[in-house]
Amino acid sequence: MPRAAVLLSGCGNRDGSEIHESVCAVIALDRKGWDIVYTAPAIPQQKTVSYIDGTKLPPRNTLEESARIARGKIVPLNEIHLENIDSVVIPGGLGVALTLCDFAVNGASCSINPEVNSFLKNANELGIPIGAMCIAPTLVARCLPGTTLTIGNDRTTADKIEKMGCRHVECSADKSVVDRQNRVVSTPAYMTATGPAQVLEGAISMVTALEELLKNQRG
């Protein structure tokens, strides 16, 4: 049974992991029999907001809030051993672009949380396929220049991805873009999706592509 690490960044699209995307990813993995290990860095969220009026709330911890999506079963990122992991999946949400990296603030010149950066770089060096949803491809772009990625069809974000040395390919929400060379799959999710059913279609496409990459180990 292959095992995926689902890398979370809090709980909610405005300051953490997008909840629908996270659940669609784990449904897509679960229906193909994958084992799921939820993980997140144990660091303060860069921002915590009220989803009613956008006001700032007292800071929350990324691992603690991500654990809500994980139903309490979550492993701190620094305790994940990549030798036990077959794939890494990163749902979108502003937490990715605020806490895991600061793309939402600094765009193409963003910096990545060091722990997240080495986790993804090491995974990539070991040939572990990475799946990224919605805004998460911007994190992958900064971490792994030279990758082909999609964030749907938003030209402003696509330009920034290309500025980070990557290639952007337009894609619809129900599909995914596969970079076989770099072993990265991306799907636009709520960058273009009209609702959760489309997000699930995109997640299924992503997981199917990750499985194909797994079957074809990097030569």
List interacting residues with its own copies (CB under 8 A): 11-14, 16, 18-20, 23-24, 26-27, 30-31, 36, 50-52, 58, 63-64, 67-72, 74, 190, 195-197, 200
Say how many CA atoms lie within 13 Å of 43 toward its Cβ: 20
- Spatial separation of the C-alpha atoms in residues 56 and 38, rounded to whole Å: 27
Lookup result for tokens 């990224």 = 132
| Alpha helices, H only, 87-154 | 94-95, 103-106, 114-125, 136-143
Q: Which is nearer to its own copies, 38 or 141 (CB)?
A: 38
Instruction: Please state the closest distance from residue 135 (CB atom) to its own copies, in A.
Output: 14
Active-site hit among 11, 101, 110, 134: 134
Tell me, yes or no, if 134 is annotated catalytic: yes
Closest approach, Cβ 74 to its own copies, in A, equals 8
Residue 179 CB, nearest distance to its own copies (Å)? Answer: 27
In the complex, the smallest distance separating the C-beta of residue 32 from its own copies, rounded to whole angstroms, is 9
Spell out the alpha helix ranges (H) of 56-195.
62-69, 94-95, 103-106, 114-125, 136-143, 155-163
Which of residues 68 and 167 has its CB atom nearest to its own copies in the complex?
Answer: 68
Residue number, 51 or 121, with CB nearest to its own copies: 51
| Residue 114 CB neighbour total at 10 angstroms | 9
Integer Cα distance of 120 and 135 in angstroms: 16
Closer CB to its own copies, residue 152 or residue 184? 152
Q: What are the structure tokens assigned to 209, written together?
A: 């592509």
Query: Phi and psi at residue 124, in whole multiples of 5°?
Result: -65, -40
Enzyme catalytic residues: 134
